[in-house]
Amino acid sequence: MRIQGARRRPALGREATMSCDRIRDRLELASLGGVTAGESAELEAHLAVCPACREAWEECREAAAAVRASIAPAHPRPAFHRALREAVRSEIRRARRFGTGRRIAAASAAALLLAAAAVWRSADRPGAAPALRLADIERWRLAGAATGRAAPSGALAGASSRAYFVRRDGAGRRVVAVDVATGRTCWETPVDANGPLAADASRVYCPVADDRRAAGLAALDAERGTLLWRYAGAAAPAFCRSARPVPWGDRVCWSAGDTVHMIDAGTGRRIWAHAVDGRGRLSAAEILGGRLYVADAATLTCLDGADGRVCWSQRLGGDDAEPLERPLLAAAGGRAYVVSPLPRRSGRLACADLADGRLRWTRLVPWPHHVAASDEAVYVRAGEVTAYDRDRGTMRWSRAAEGCGPLTPDGRFVHFVDASGGGRLLALERGSGRAVRAIEGVRSCEPVLLAGGLGVVETVDGIVHAVPVWTP
């Protein structure tokens, strides 16, 4: 009768045999591999000669097996098992006060189920998802995308159903247009892109470096890939990656350094520029209802989209924000959400009313990689993906998820890549955080681009994949 999973460290100063009471105290932990090698040998010796304890041992093994089968995640992490064993130890100590023998085993088994379920909810994922393999369901793939932290991220023009990404070309780079439905390459154009792309139905916008090595913006024709114009009005150095451009009708808004630029999308002519007198680099802009919202490390500013006039400006908190880090901004449902960078990789999440800038609430969060918003919540990605209520800032749900990829909300779901294990593309219900689909074998720090029933994602090996997105 071999007890499996014992940790290999010597037992210190205990007698060669154990009493039945001491055996019963250790059976639950032994069923989870939570005893030392010395304790395991003593348990085996006792169980060989004691039928009553053998019967209790079989009960514990069955209870532990049932718990594992019913709640263990599909990809368990070491932290899950460590937390589970600690929870079980606590429950066993409590169960000892209520009896011995089978009563201990029964009480501990029930407590084990509850404690393990609680640990899983806090340490792993809220709900299992049907798992699929990337190789089994992908519609097409295309190799050669630029990868790494300094590589520009892709963009999608929903109206034209094309995806755009950056491909390395020796020492330079090319912007590549791909038909989302078929994966066919439509065109490639040499452009020294050094920031995130954006697109509308007519143009692709690429942050670039101009001849003076200052930050600039280029526009390519979405149909043919020809260069339409280059805007060189930014004073920010090219080595500071600019924010993602934001198409807005016949204009495009672009933040570089501490200045917001509104540019005519057809000609590349500056319409207006506004330097924000605040702290450090600006976020990408959000444009809603004719107003433009932009944040630095300490201030949220609302500008009139037509002429750049300041409508209001709202301080977001103390003076402890880090001005060298770009803040994160998202807006929806009448609220703006700003994460200001703080020292020691933390952040301050602030919610403000879009109408007048009045602060609704603030809370500290781990410094996130991305923030997104819907009408009912804001979603923050740090070491986990967490949804906070729009009105009170209370946590609605949280899910452990490794990696740095952005969140892509759609009508009912939030799509992103969890880098744990071999990586997986997940779809979570926005309201509950329940995982409804998982595609295994996806590792990426890029956004999931949605169009025509497909999700397009660029993985860390430089391959662009298209897969069917979840539809209920």
Closest to 414 measured CA to CA, from 439, 389, 436: 436
Local structure of 136: helix, strand or coil: helix
User: Which single residue is written with the structure tokens 């509850």?
Assistant: 114
| pLDDT, one tens digit for every residue, the chain (472 residues) | 445 444 333 333 344 346 787 887 777 677 666 666 677 778 878 887 888 888 787 777 656 654 444 444 444 444 555 555 555 555 444 444 444 444 444 444 444 444 444 444 444 444 456 678 998 999 999 887 765 444 455 555 555 688 898 887 777 788 999 999 999 999 999 988 878 899 998 999 998 876 556 788 999 999 999 999 999 866 655 445 678 899 999 999 999 888 899 999 999 999 999 988 766 788 899 999 999 999 988 899 999 999 999 999 999 876 655 556 788 999 999 999 999 888 777 888 999 999 999 999 999 888 788 999 999 999 999 888 999 999 999 999 999 888 888 999 988 899 999 988 889 999 999 999 999 999 999 998 888 888 888 889 888 888 899 999 865 5
User: What domains, with CATH codes, occur in the chain?
Assistant: 20-123 (no CATH), 154-275 (2.130.10.10)
- Which DSSP state fits 279? S
Phi, psi of 220 (to 5 degrees): -110, 150
Helix residue ranges per DSSP H, 96-146: 102-123, 134-137
Q: How far apart are CA 218 and CA 190, in angstroms?
A: 12
Q: At what angle do helices 37-47 and 20-31 cross, to 10 degrees?
A: 120
**Rounded to whole angstroms, what are the CA distances from 178 to 149, 207, 447?**
23, 20, 16
Sign of the four-CA dihedral 114, 117, 122, 126:
negative
Closest to 404 measured CA to CA, from 186, 217, 153, 89: 153
Non-local (6+) Cβ contacts of 78 within 8 A are none
Dig out the tokens for 446 from the structure.
């890029």
Geometric angle at alpha carbon 51, from 28 and 57, rounded to 5°: 15
**Which string of b and e fits 402-417 if b means at least 16 CB within 10 Å?**
ebbbbbbbeeebbbbb
Dig out the tokens for 305 from the structure.
């989209």
Dig out the tokens for 282 from the structure.
């600006």
Indicate the helix (H) or strand (E) that contains 91: helix 78-95
Q: How far apart are CA 242 and CA 358, in angstroms?
A: 28
Q: How far apart are CA 237 and CA 38, in angstroms?
A: 64
**Cβ atoms of 283 and 245 closer than 8 Å:** no
Q: How far apart are CA 106 and CA 218, in angstroms?
A: 69
Task: Return the pLDDT at 111.
Answer: 46
Q: How far apart are CA 220 and CA 278, in angstroms?
A: 33
Closest to 448 measured CA to CA, from 425, 418, 421, 423: 425
**What strand order describes the sheet that includes 251-256?**
246-248, 251-256, 259-264, 270-275
Local structure of 399: helix, strand or coil: strand
Sign of the four-CA dihedral 362, 365, 367, 372:
negative
Q: pTM of the prediction? A: 0.71
**Cβ atoms of 87 and 118 closer than 8 Å:** yes
- DSSP-assigned states of every residue in 314-334: EE-S-S---TTSPPEEEEETT
Residue 291, number of CB atoms within 10 A of its CB? 17
Dig out the tokens for 246 from the structure.
């934001």
Q: How far apart are CA 155 and CA 206, in angstroms?
A: 10
Beta bridge partners of 162: 157, 179
